[in-house]
């Protein structure tokens, strides 16, 4: 299609002839032009103020042209995102609670202890012992004290005619270094036969 453009001037408008269709575009009056210039100037001033504010937030900014400010801002935002990810990961690792748990079940009927179980959470230890005979209680308490475990609470319940169910919550002292497996084995050895 052949396009033919012709312009004709009139007092306040331009006519554009395009393939036989005529469209009129109004010219701005002088007051409208002045309003546009003022609005555009105000917009540029706001952009400049925002660039100044942005440049003030970027550490170690050497150049203050707009391209440098935007480039440094992008790099700084990426750096902050990486730092945020690292901090979140460290926080998750810190808040992750590790529970160490060991149980030892003895199925022989002639053994002093049928069950010794220990769980550690941070600096606290939960110990459960199912044993025969009442001589076990002072032996267990003494043994825990020797291991630098301070007893916080205890529960000793009779089970049947000669069995005891002992539950102990203890706090680890600074010198405590045994694993839960070592604690369970040493408790089993410390409980005397009836």
Whether pLDDT at 20 is above 80: no
Q: Report how far Cα 94 is from the mean position of its chain's Cα atoms.
A: 9
Its pTM stands at: 0.48
Q: Which of 61, 95, 129 is the last residue of a domain?
A: 95
Whether pLDDT at 135 is above 90: no
Q: What is the pLDDT at residue 61? A: 86
Whether pLDDT at 128 is above 50: yes
149 assigned to some structural domain: yes
Are 122 and 155 in a shared domain? yes
184 assigned to some structural domain: yes
Query: CATH number of the domain that 142 lies in?
Result: 3.30.70.260
Are 108 and 46 in a shared domain? no
Are 137 and 73 in a shared domain? no
Are 180 and 148 in a shared domain? yes
Q: What is the pLDDT at residue 185? A: 85
**Full residue range of the structural domain in which residue 107 is found:** 99-190
């Amino acid at each position: 299609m052949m396009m033919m453009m012709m312009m004709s001037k009139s007092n306040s408008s331009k006519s554009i002839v395009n393939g036989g269709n005529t469209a009129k575009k109004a010219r701005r009056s002088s007051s409208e032009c002045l309003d546009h210039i003022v609005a555009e100037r105000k917009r540029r001033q706001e952009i400049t103020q925002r660039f100044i504010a942005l440049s003030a937030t970027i550490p170690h900014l050497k150049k203050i042209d707009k391209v440098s400010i935007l480039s440094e801002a992008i790099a700084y935002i990426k750096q902050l995102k990486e730092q945020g990810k690292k901090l979140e990961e460290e926080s998750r690792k810190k808040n992750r609670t590790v529970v160490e748990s060991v149980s030892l079940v003895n199925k022989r009927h002639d053994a002093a202890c049928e069950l010794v179980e220990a769980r550690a959470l941070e600096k606290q230890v939960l110990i459960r012992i199912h044993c025969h005979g009442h001589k076990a209680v002072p032996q267990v308490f003494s043994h825990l004290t020797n291991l630098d475990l301070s007893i916080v609470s205890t529960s000793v319940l009779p089970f049947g005619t000669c069995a005891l169910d002992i539950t102990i919550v203890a706090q680890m002292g600074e010198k405590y270094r045994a694993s839960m497996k070592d604690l369970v084995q040493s408790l089993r050895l410390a409980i005397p036969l009836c």
